[in-house]
Structure 1
Amino acid sequence: MKQILSVALPKGRLLRPCLELFHELGCRSLNEMLFSRRLLWEEAKQGLRFMVIKPVDVPIYVEYGSADLGIVGRDILREEQRDVYEPVGLGFGRCRLVVAGPPEIKGENLHLRHSLRVATKYPRLTREHFLKRGISVEVIALSGSVELAPQVGLADLIVDVVQTGRTLRDNNLVEIEEIMASEACLIVNRASQKLKLREIAELMERIADVVVKWREK
């Protein structure tokens, strides 16, 4: 008997392309997900159950087995460092994690700063980046509105994800350097990978076919 697979999907900017992906796989009743507060959805004919959660929580649900699979940005995976299997990048949701700040700080030798505060939603990656560069910083962890921090004196710099750079420009910030590139990734619970091997392998193959088709467009 075919086992049901639970899939954790991220709220926010990645949700729409995730739904487009599963629509290609025959899940036709998920469009309402964009406009609903409902968090649990069933696609019985496809053998799938979906949960819609905050992106940062997707790796947690997958690591602990509440979801067999999940889709999340590689930036969050690197920040959270959860014990999950990461088989494939999906080619959408591309963005970059960058250091940014006011225009006057670009080109400045940051090594000469005695105190430097950096606001971010990515404290682990931020510390690692500046440690590799040999720059001493105080990292201020925020949950949102990071671009505000330099404008009100909370921080000298920020580390955040950018796609087009418009949010930086709108807040009078400029990119200083890139830390990493990111895209949406499929992740799998390690126990599920063994216990539901046939179902997961079949789903991954179908997802890979869609991703290849999208990349060829």
Structure 2
Amino acid sequence: MTININRTQKLVAALPKGKLLKPTFALLQKAGFFFDEADQKSRKLIIEDKNRMMQALFVKPSDVPIYVEHGIADFGIVGKDSLVESCVDVFTPLELDFGQCNLAIAGYPEDLDRNWRLRSLVRVATKYPNIARVHFDKLGVQAEIISLHGSVELGVLAGLADVIVDIVETGTTLRENGLVVFEEILPVTAMFIVNKASHKLKLRQLDTVISAIAKS
């Protein structure tokens, strides 16, 4: 059965596909919203909780802030990296206790020893061009930002870039490719974000969810 988005009577949530999805559903369950396990694992893009109080949209993580800012979703859960990169205007009432990692600059260890910042131009491969541009401007380092959508480590290995700006969790991928972290840019965790208009129009419903999550 096809489900249409019902923003008038229900809360609509933009939920991130991928590694944040499972802990997100666990968090919503603690807040009293139960979704059928089969729906969670299906290819459906829109599902409803069992009490039909909330609709969930399965969204690419980098798109979650956009759906929330434009009011398609009342709230969303997204990594701080995607939130900062998107430059959206939303409320951020909660930092959540999952999805922890770091956004960092990395490259070859010999370049770290040679003080890579002294280059006349640093080529930077990244999925986060906005964050990278702001950070290198703050460093006073002239940088060419190269936007990639796949494995950014390959940018350095193939000679396309001098350094990368990317998410680092365990550091295994970096080590296996002979790269090291130069410096951390941003500590990342999952964030609960809210559309500004929804915060006024659905204040009671949203406050109930936020309070339940904060206590969990």
TM value normalised by structure 1: 0.91
User: In the TM superposition, what is the alpha-carbon distance from 1:78 to its structure 2 partner?
Assistant: 1.1
Give 1:58's match in structure 2, choosing from 58, 64, 88. 64
Asked if 2 retains the 8 angstrom alpha-carbon contact of 1:130 and 1:136, the reply is yes
CA contact (8 A) 2:30 2:212 kept: no
Aligned length: 209
Partner in structure 2 of residue 80 of structure 1: 86
Report the Cα distance in structure 1 between the residues aligned to 2:36 and 2:23, rounded to whole angstroms: 12
Partner of 2:113, secondary structure, is coil
CA contact (8 A) 1:3 1:199 kept: no
The alpha-carbon distance between structure 1 residues 104 and 34, as it changes in their structure 2 partners (threshold 3 A), is farther
CA contact (8 A) 2:104 2:167 kept: yes
1:132 corresponds to: 138
- Where does residue 118 of structure 1 map in the other structure? 124
1:141 aligns with one of 140, 143, 147: 147
Partner Cα distance (1:171, 1:31) in 2? 38
**Share of identical aligned residues, percent?**
49
Structure 1 residue aligned with 2:3: none
* Residues 100 and 189 in structure 2, CA contact (< 8 A), matched pair in contact too: yes
Matched with 2:193 is: 187
**Equivalent residue, structure 1, for 2:43:** 37
Q: Is the CA contact 1:3–1:196 (under 8 Å) kept in the aligned structure 2?
A: no
Aligned to 1:178: 184
Aligned match of 1:169: 175
Contact 2:33–2:50, Cα closer than 8 Å, also in 1: no
Corresponding residue SS for 1:88: strand
Cα contact 1:100–1:177 (8 A) shared by 2: yes
Distance across 1 between alignment mates of 2:52 and 2:179: 46
Q: Whole-Å Cα distance in 1 between the matches of residues 191 and 16 of structure 2?
A: 11
Cα distance change on mapping 1:138 and 1:198 into 2, 3 Å: same
Match of 1:153, SS state, is coil
SS of equivalent residue, structure 2 residue 120:
coil
Name the CA distance, whole Å, in 2 between partners of 1:7 and 1:124: 25
Distance 1:86 1:41 in 2: 24
- Which of 198, 206, 209 lines up with 2:212 in the alignment? 206
* Unaligned stretches of 5+ residues in structure 1: 211-217
